[in-house]
Amino acid sequence: MTHATEPTHRLVSTQAGRIHLVEQGSGPLVLLVHGFPESWYSWRHQLPALAAAGYRAVAIDVRGYGRSSKPAAPEAYRLTELVEDNVSVVRALGEESAVVVGHDWGSPIASTSGLLRPEVFRAVGMLSVPYTPRGGPRPTELFAHMGGGEDEFYISYFQEPGRAEAEIEPDVRGWLAAFYRALSAGTMPGPGDPAPYLVSPGSTLRDRCPDGPPPAWLGEAELDFYAGEFERTGLTGALNRYRNMDRDWTDLAAHDGAPLTQPSLFAGGALDVTMTWLADAVKAFPVTLPGLVSSHLLDDCGHWIQQERPEETNRLLIDWLAELPA
């Protein structure tokens, strides 16, 4: 074991400007990529644990978030651009290669990084969102059919510029608390309750999120941090990720159905609705992830796996990392 150093904040240059990162520890590089609506801070429990286990753990603010650059053009948030940000971070840190781990949107960012730049990303960990190769219908066509009757699927709702911003930005803190609550074990809606990922005509996404106390993992200090970040930056950079799904589908046409061959890990929460939507993707792992080392579903866990169950997530990551070729 190496002694875990204190976390250090840095800004590194990329083709779009800068990426803010927080690093802790020394050893093989592990790049941590967050999802929506989060931040480097969502890896606060993993940074010291990975550092103590002998790794150089680096959590970034994805382009559009926190102190990282926020290009104005919506198309600047396509996956191919975010992959190059990850490559730039590895190079700026003086490294040749890294293990990349992503949660939520960070998972496809991580897997696409491994797919497009296998010489840089030698292993890929995915949390909450399983690897799903490019294929099938154009995403906007697919999501148009995922509503319930007149209801609209949340991804379609997020894809219209300005629409979700108008809902969220008047009360960022309240909206985040409701969104986190809706996807957390112990506070998510029960069977028969309105689905929090659908938007009824004339209403908002938050209208379907449950009221009540925050989930156990989300204290006042944590919520204050997230709210402060998005009150400062706004939500457009984060939401622009959703607005590039058709561009990603076009950009990755040459990789249709392509497997991810590096050593990989998947872990999700058994109560996460994503596991229902993407159950077929998990079943396809023997074909799509031929290098899969381990796959885990944590009982009584929702979507925010590394924050809801930090100790178990840390153990899974460290055990997997220990099995990787040097």
| Model pLDDT, residue 146 | 84
Could you give the CA distance from residue 198 to residue 222 in angstroms, rounded to a whole number? Answer: 26
Q: Where are the domains of the chain?
A: 8-323
- Span 216-237, average pLDDT: 97
Quickly state the pLDDT bin for 326 (edges 50, 70, 90): confident
How many beta carbons lie within 10 A of that of residue 224, not counting itself? 11
SS3 for 251-274, per residue? HCHHHCCCCCCCCEEEEEECCCCH
Query: For the whole prediction, is pTM greater than 0.95?
Result: yes
What pLDDT does residue 35 have? 98
Helices (H), the chain: 46-52, 79-92, 106-116, 139-144, 154-159, 163-168, 172-182, 220-233, 236-239, 245-251, 274-277, 279-283, 285-288, 305-308, 310-323
Are 68 and 20 contacting, i.e. CB atoms less than 8 angstroms apart?
Answer: yes
Q: Computed over its alpha carbons, how large is the radius of gyration of the chain?
A: 18
Question: In this predicted model, which residue has the larger pLDDT, 2 or 106?
Answer: 106
**Residue 9 and residue 59 in contact, taking contact as beta carbons nearer than 8 Å:** no
Mean pLDDT of 86-100: 98
In this model, does residue 98 exceed pLDDT 60? yes
- The sheet carrying 121-127 orders its strands as 8-14, 17-24, 56-60, 29-33, 98-103, 121-127, 264-269, 292-298
Q: Which of 150-159, 171-180, 302-311 has the lowest mean pLDDT?
A: 150-159
Q: How far apart are CA 10 and CA 20, in angstroms?
A: 6
In angstroms, the Cα distances linking 81 to 54, 113, 212, 276 are 30, 10, 39, 29
Residue 2 has pLDDT above 70, yes or no: no
CATH number of the domain at 8-323, out of 3.40.190.10, 3.30.420.40, 3.30.70.890, 3.40.50.1820? 3.40.50.1820
- Whole-number Å distance between alpha carbons of 84 and 113: 8
Give the residue numbers marked as catalytic: 104, 303
Q: Which whole number is the average pLDDT over 208-236?
A: 95
Q: Which residue has the higher pLDDT, 147 or 111?
A: 111
Angstrom distance (rounded) from CA 62 to CA 270: 26
- Mean pLDDT value across the chain: 95
Find out whether 168 and 162 touch, Cβ atoms under 8 Å.
no
Structure tokens at 86: 């990850």
Torsion sign (Cα): 113, 116, 121, 125: positive
